[in-house]
A = this chain, B = another copy of it.
Amino acid sequence: MLNFSYKNPTKLVFGKDTISSLGSNIKSDSIDKVLLLYGKGSIFKNGVYDLVTESLKNNNIEFIELSGVKPNPVLSKVKEGIDIVKNNNLKAIIAVGGGSVIDSAKAISAGSCYEGNVWDLFEGNGKLTKALPIFTVLTLSATGSEMNCGGVITNEDEGKKWSFGSPLLYPRVSILDPSIQSTLPTKQTVNGAVDTITHVFEAYFGGTKNTDMVDELSEGIIRTVIKHSKILINDSNNYNSRCELSFAATLALNGLNGLGRLGDWSSHSIEHSLSVLNDISHGAGLAIIMPAWMKYVYKEDICKFAKMGRNIFNINECDDEKAALSAIEALKNYYKEIGAPTTLKEVGVSFKDLDFVADNAAMSAPLGTFKKLNREDIYKILQIAFE
């Protein structure tokens, strides 16, 4: 296990009928004027918009709205938000939505307190010394952004989907009422499950030995996601399963699962480049990329993949390599069972596009820690993922 330092100050408010506590949580921080950020119209259909605005009004909190955050959130919308915040002297950002809205809120929070171009922070230039408080109401469990301090934004002009982070960007309070996710399209529940599992595996295969306690947490999160995602694709209203899936998604990326190990994150990098190409949803892209990555790298640590097979997929096989290969197959089969895509071909990527994706991902090469990947490796993984 590696040395680590961990501090996560986000207050997580979890459960049914908790959204109405938003206003009082903001008010107790003496904040009276905020940006209310959301995506498309789903929060009007599921009643969340009404709950949020009523709670703000009840606590005399003024708000200016900015809607239209896209699933792969873009820099231009972030800049629009920063302008509104600065022009109106707003004191906090309220993100109502999934990871794309929360990530945008983080970038707006940072950019509103940063003198230069907010993209500097993604490029590793510029230093963030303060940020506006962020409050979130989560409507789709997937990215874990509700309880961490990072985010991913696409710079449309430069064709870069990059991440950034700062301890200043932990949400002050995140409200997670799993019951409101019962109206999600199945596809989004599935994508959330895949995203969660991939977050866990990025750390699990993080190239660090002797990590029993976090491995236990990792395996437990994934078993929970597998069990309850299978229930939810047939019974979207199952509140218990919504709770389990939501809580698992938050735990997958609130930092705990990464403690004491390096993390790999090359599947995420490759997927980000894939979504620059065709705006594929993040979860769908990960369902395709990560099993291909696994097939390409498993020989670096066959034992760990065999452990994954035995502990997560109940594979009863003494030979480590057979167990490892069966584990990867079991993951793909589970993705197929819940309706996630498992090949690039299925989502409309053509073979000649692989070069673009490999070039884009190789901008940050070498990727990963489990096996360091250069452009050639990335291309081979994309070939495996193709069909």
- Indicate if A3 sits at the interface (CB-CB under 8 A): yes
A243 to B4, Cβ gap below 8 A?
A: no
The verdict on A2 contacting chain B, using a C-beta distance below 8 Å, is: yes
Any B CB within 8 A of the CB of A223 = yes
Contact size range, A:
35 or more
Say yes or no: B1 contacts A5, CB within 8 Å: no
A10 touches B7 (CB 8 A): yes
Neighbouring B residues of A260 by C-beta, 8 Å: 14, 243, 247
Number of copies of chain A assembled together: 2
Q: Which residues of B contact A32 (CB under 8 A)?
A: none
User: Which single residue of chain B is at the shortest CB-CB distance from A177?
Assistant: B3
A8 within 8 A of B: yes
A114 CB, min distance to chain B CBs, angstroms? 22
Instruction: Determine the chain B residues whose CB is within 8 A of the CB of A2 once the complex forms.
Output: 15
Residues of chain B lying within 8 A (CB to CB) of residue A220: 213, 216-217, 219-220
User: Which residues in window 237-264 of A have CB below 8 A to B?
Assistant: 240, 243-244, 247-248, 251, 256, 259-260
**Which residues on the B side are within 8 Å of A210 (C-beta)?**
240, 243-244
Tell me how far the C-beta of A183 lies from the nearest C-beta in chain B, rounded to whole angstroms: 20
Known A216-B224, A219-B220; contact A5-B9, beta-carbon cutoff 8 A:
no
A16 at the interface (CB under 8 A from B): yes
Q: Is A88 an interface residue (CB 8 A)?
A: no
Bits for A14-51, please: 1 = Cβ < 8 Å to B, else 0: 11111000000000000000000000000000000000
Can you name the residue of chain B whose Cβ is closest to the Cβ of A218? B220
B243 A259 Cβ-Cβ under 8 A:
no
CA distance A200 to B221 in the complex (A): 17
Interface contact B244-A213, CB-CB below 8 Å: yes
Asked if B212 contacts A224 (CB within 8 A), the reply is yes
Extra inter-chain contacts (7) besides given A1-B240, A216-B219, CB under 8 Å: A1-B15, A2-B15, A3-B16, A5-B14, A210-B244, A214-B247, A219-B220
29 contacts between A and B (CB under 8 A): A1-B15, A1-B244, A2-B15, A3-B15, A4-B12, A4-B15, A5-B11, A5-B14, A7-B9, A7-B12, A210-B240, A210-B243, A212-B224, A212-B228, A213-B220, A213-B244, A213-B247, A213-B248, A213-B251, A214-B247, A216-B217, A216-B219, A216-B223, A217-B217, A220-B220, A243-B260, A247-B259, A247-B260, A256-B256
